[in-house]
C-alpha cells in the first residue's frame, strides 16, 4: 500500500441473510483513501454504506477481499487485535450521539483516553481545549440529558478527536439534527479535521454536506462510483 494511503479496500464482498437467502450489498468493491482526505459516501438506505464503515473499522469482516488501514491488514487480525487498532486509530461519530448517560460531558470525552491508557497529566488540558473548540467551554460537569441534540453531537466530536486518531468515521453525523444545527456541527467537524490533517470518511444522505467533501462517491449495486452531479435523490 502506498505511503500516502490510509485506507484501502480491495475486492470486498459482503452479504446479509434475508430469510432463507442472502442479499449481497458489496460486490468486488474497491476503495482507496489517501491521508488527509475528506471523503463522502452517498447511497440509499440499506445500500451498504454503514457496512463499509464497519469493515474499515474491523467491526465486521468481509466474505472476500482485503482491508488495509495504515499499513495493517485488518481482515487477517484476530478480534482482540482489531479492537486494539480500532481504539487507537479511529474516532467514531454516530447519528444518535452514543453518549453514556451516566457519565458527565468530560467523562464521555475522556473515555477514549482511558481505553487507550493515555489518560495522563496532560489529558485535562487537551480535554478542555477541545470542549472550547466545539463551543462547550464550561460544559464538562453536565450530563448528556441536559444538552440539546446539537450540543450532544459536539460532545461526540470532541470524544472522537481526543485521542488524536488518524481516521474519523462518521455515520450520518447530522441525521438527527435540524438543517441549521446540522450545518453548524458539520462546519465544526470539517474545520477540526482539516486543521489537524486527519482523514474523514462520512456516509450521509445529505448532498449539501457531501458537496463540501474533497471527493464524493455513490454506492450503487455494491460498488462505489465517482459522483459528479448532486441531487436530492440518494
The order of strands in the sheet holding 21-34 is 21-34, 5-18, 64-69, 72-73
- pLDDT value at residue 124: 86
- pLDDT value at residue 19: 74
Q: How far apart are CA 56 and CA 60, in angstroms?
A: 8
- pLDDT value at residue 232: 46
- pLDDT value at residue 229: 59
Pick the CATH number of 37-61+76-226 from 2.60.40.420, 3.40.50.150, 1.10.357.10, 3.40.50.300: 3.40.50.300
Q: pTM for this one?
A: 0.92
- pLDDT value at residue 123: 85
List the chain residues with pLDDT less than 50.
Answer: 232-234
Amino acid at each position: 500500500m502506498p505511503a500516502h494511503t490510509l485506507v484501502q479496500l480491495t475486492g470486498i464482498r459482503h452479504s446479509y441473510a434475508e430469510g432463507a437467502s442472502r442479499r449481497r450489498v458489496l460486490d468486488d468493491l474497491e476503495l482507496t483513501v489517501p491521508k488527509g482526505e475528506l471523503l463522502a459516501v452517498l447511497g440509499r438506505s440499506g445500500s451498504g454504506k454503514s457496512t463499509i464503515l464497519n469493515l474499515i473499522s474491523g467491526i465486521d469482516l468481509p466474505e472476500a477481499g482485503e482491508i488495509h488501514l495504515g499499513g495493517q491488514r485488518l481482515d487477517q487480525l484476530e478480534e482482540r487485535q482489531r479492537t486494539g487498532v480500532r481504539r487507537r486509530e479511529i474516532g467514531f461519530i454516530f447519528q444518535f450521539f452514543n453518549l453514556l448517560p451516566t457519565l458527565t460531558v468530560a467523562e464521555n470525552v475522556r473515555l477514549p483516553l482511558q481505553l487507550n491508557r493515555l489518560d495522563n497529566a496532560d489529558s485535562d488540558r487537551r480535554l478542555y481545549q477541545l470542549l472550547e473548540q466545539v463551543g462547550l467551554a464550561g460544559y464538562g460537569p453536565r450530563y448528556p440529558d441536559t444538552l440539546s441534540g446539537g450540543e450532544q453531537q459536539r460532545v461526540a466530536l470532541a470524544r472522537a478527536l481526543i485521542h488524536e486518531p488518524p481516521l474519523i468515521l462518521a455515520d450520518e453525523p447530522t441525521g438527527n439534527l435540524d438543517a441549521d444545527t446540522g450545518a453548524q456541527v458539520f462546519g465544526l467537524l470539517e474545520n477540526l479535521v482539516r486543521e489537524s490533517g486527519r482523514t474523514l470518511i462520512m456516509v450521509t444522505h445529505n448532498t449539501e454536506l457531501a458537496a463540501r467533501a474533497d471527493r464524493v462517491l455513490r454506492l450503487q449495486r455494491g460498488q462505489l462510483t465517482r459522483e459528479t452531479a448532486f441531487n436530492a435523490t440518494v
